């Protein structure tokens, strides 16, 4: 008997084929696709008799309490991403429904994107590109003012040392900067040494870092983490990079700090709300790079994510315990 499964993430025929080829047991899925951002009533009606829900990696479809309580046969929710803020975890827990994500699948893509932003901003690439395109040759000014920097002479602060923060540390180490990190649970001495890291309190990291890269999940504790007060504590002419979640950074406070000359720039891949709005205070600022939540959107990450997804759904179908359960069931 086919297992009714509703997927709120868009997939190409090639991706669907790859998913179903991960394990023969996946041929038992009766897959129905709903467009991301489907009206709530339509999404709830589509899931009313489903056993498995595959979440929306675009984060436009909420798997809310009403949907979870209406889906009487629902037994497993698998998010096709790392972030789970679109899912009512508590409602699923109350019904005994495990919720899983695919943690780690995009950590290399996130780390490489953060590296790209860091290096581009240190060399003021957005400004140099814009001015050179206007035939405004700034070579003498840049050399004379020393307004571009080498990463090797800077201090990098990594906020959050999960999989993407760790991958960033591995890559940055080749540039031989000083690397500070902050996380809730400090790493062991051996791991710190292997990655070339020095632990710092949050305030120490803000004070001492020339570049700060954010790699924490969105939680009640991290929402608004980089607000006006926090940004004011950052080192003058520091650079802020965010490849985590938009709600972690107060966009207006960040824009004000850049316009006032307190910060030297920012690289932002995530926004709140998404997509970015035309009136975003970050649009048009000098030495700011904005990308549309694509830090982890590489061909390799996509393939890895589909394989992680397929393996975990296969575990459920075989009666095994799925991995990366986020609600303790």
Q: What CATH number should be reported for the domain holding residue 199?
A: 3.40.50.720
User: b/e map of 239-269 (b: 16 or more CB within 10 Å)?
Assistant: bbbbbbbbbbbbbebbbbbbeeeebbbbbbb
**Residues 130 and 97: beta-carbon distance below 8 Å:** no
pLDDT for 308: 97
Q: Does any domain span residue 324? A: no
Token pair 């710092």: residue: 200
Show the 3-state SS of 124-188: CHHHHHHHHHCCCCCHHHHHHHCCCCCHHHCEEEEECCCHHHHHHHHHHHHHCCEEEEECCCCCC
- Residue 107 in 3-state DSSP? helix
27 DSSP assignment: G
Are residues 79 and 60 part of one domain?
Answer: yes
Q: Is 274 a catalytic residue?
A: yes
Are residues 135 and 69 part of one domain?
Answer: no
Task: Name every residue whose Cβ is closer than 8 Å to that of residue 288 and which is 6 or more positions away in sequence.
Answer: 126, 258, 265, 266, 267, 268, 282
pLDDT for 1: 82
Q: Is 204 a catalytic residue?
A: no
pLDDT for 144: 67
Q: Does any domain span residue 44? A: yes
In 10 A of CB 82, how many CB atoms? 24
Q: Does any domain span residue 326? A: no
Are residues 81 and 113 part of one domain?
Answer: no
The one-digit pLDDT tens for each residue of the chain (329 residues) are: 899 999 999 999 999 999 999 999 999 999 999 999 999 999 999 999 999 999 999 989 999 999 999 999 999 999 999 999 999 999 999 999 999 999 999 999 999 999 999 999 999 999 999 999 999 998 887 776 778 999 999 999 999 999 999 999 999 999 988 999 999 999 999 999 999 999 999 999 999 999 999 999 999 999 999 999 999 999 999 999 999 999 999 999 999 999 999 999 999 999 999 999 999 999 999 999 999 999 999 999 999 999 999 999 999 999 999 999 999 88
**Residues 326 and 89: beta-carbon distance below 8 Å:** yes
pLDDT for 93: 97
Are residues 274 and 129 part of one domain?
Answer: yes
Q: Can you give the length of the chain in residues?
A: 329
pLDDT for 73: 96
218 DSSP assignment: P
Are residues 258 and 168 part of one domain?
Answer: yes
Q: Does any domain span residue 329? A: no
Are residues 76 and 144 part of one domain?
Answer: no
Separation of alpha carbons 175 and 158, rounded Å: 15
Bridge partner list, 198: 180
pTM above 0.75, yes or no: yes
Q: Which of 131, 192, 274, 311 is catalytic?
A: 274
Are residues 259 and 309 part of one domain?
Answer: no
Q: Which of 113, 182, 293, 304 is catalytic?
A: 293
Q: Does any domain span residue 189? A: yes
Are residues 251 and 190 part of one domain?
Answer: yes
Domain count, the chain: 2
Q: Which domain holds residue 30?
A: 3-105+299-317
Q: Does any domain span residue 203? A: yes
Separation of alpha carbons 242 and 141, rounded Å: 29
H or E element that contains 70: helix 65-70
Q: Is 290 left (phi over 0), alpha (psi -120 to 50) or beta?
A: beta
Report angle CA 21, 163, 327 to the nearest 5 degrees. 75
Q: Does any domain span residue 323? A: no
Instruction: List the structure tokens of 265.
Output: 């720039």
**Residues 77 and 310: beta-carbon distance below 8 Å:** no
Q: Which of 113, 154, 245, 304 is catalytic?
A: 245
Q: Is 293 a catalytic residue?
A: yes
Are residues 52 and 13 part of one domain?
Answer: yes
Are residues 120 and 79 part of one domain?
Answer: no
Are residues 123 and 81 part of one domain?
Answer: no
Are residues 255 and 135 part of one domain?
Answer: yes
């Amino acid at each position: 008997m086919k297992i009714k499964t509703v997927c709120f993430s868009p997939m190409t025929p090639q991706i669907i084929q790859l998913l179903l080829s991960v394990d023969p047991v996946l041929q038992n899925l009766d897959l129905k696709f709903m467009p991301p951002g489907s009206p709530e009533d339509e999404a709830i009606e589509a899931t009313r008799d489903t056993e498995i829900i595959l979440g929306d990696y675009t984060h436009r479809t909420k798997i809310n309490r009403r949907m979870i309580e209406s889906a009487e046969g629902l037994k497993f929710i698998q998010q096709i991403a790392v972030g789970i803020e679109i899912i009512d975890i508590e409602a699923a827990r109350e019904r005994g429904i495990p919720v899983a994500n695919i943690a780690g699948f995009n950590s290399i893509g996130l780390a490489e994107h953060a590296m790209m932003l860091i290096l581009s901003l240190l060399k003021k690439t957005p400004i140099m590109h814009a001015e050179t395109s206007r035939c405004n040759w700034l070579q003498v000014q840049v050399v004379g003012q020393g307004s571009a920097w080498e990463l090797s002479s800077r201090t990098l602060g990594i906020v959050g040392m999960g999989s993407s923060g760790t991958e960033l540390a591995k890559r940055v180490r080749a540039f031989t900067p000083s690397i500070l990190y902050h996380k809730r649970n400090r790493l062991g001495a051996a791991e710190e040494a292997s990655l070339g890291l020095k632990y710092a309190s949050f305030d120490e990291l803000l004070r001492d870092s020339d570049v700060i890269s954010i790699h924490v999940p969105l939680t009640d504790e991290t929402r608004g983490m980089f607000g006006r007060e926090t940004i004011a504590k950052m080192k003058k002419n520091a650079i802020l990079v965010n490849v985590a979640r938009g709600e972690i950074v107060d966009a207006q406070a960040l824009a004000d700090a850049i316009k006032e000359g307190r910060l030297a720039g920012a690289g932002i891949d995530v926004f709140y709300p998404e997509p970015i709005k035309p009136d975003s205070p970050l649009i048009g600022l000098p030495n700011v790079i904005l990308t549309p939540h694509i830090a982890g959107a590489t061909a390799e990450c996509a393939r890895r994510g589909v394989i992680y997804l397929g393996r975990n759904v296969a575990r459920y179908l075989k009666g095994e315990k799925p991995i990366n359960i986020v609600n303790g069931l």
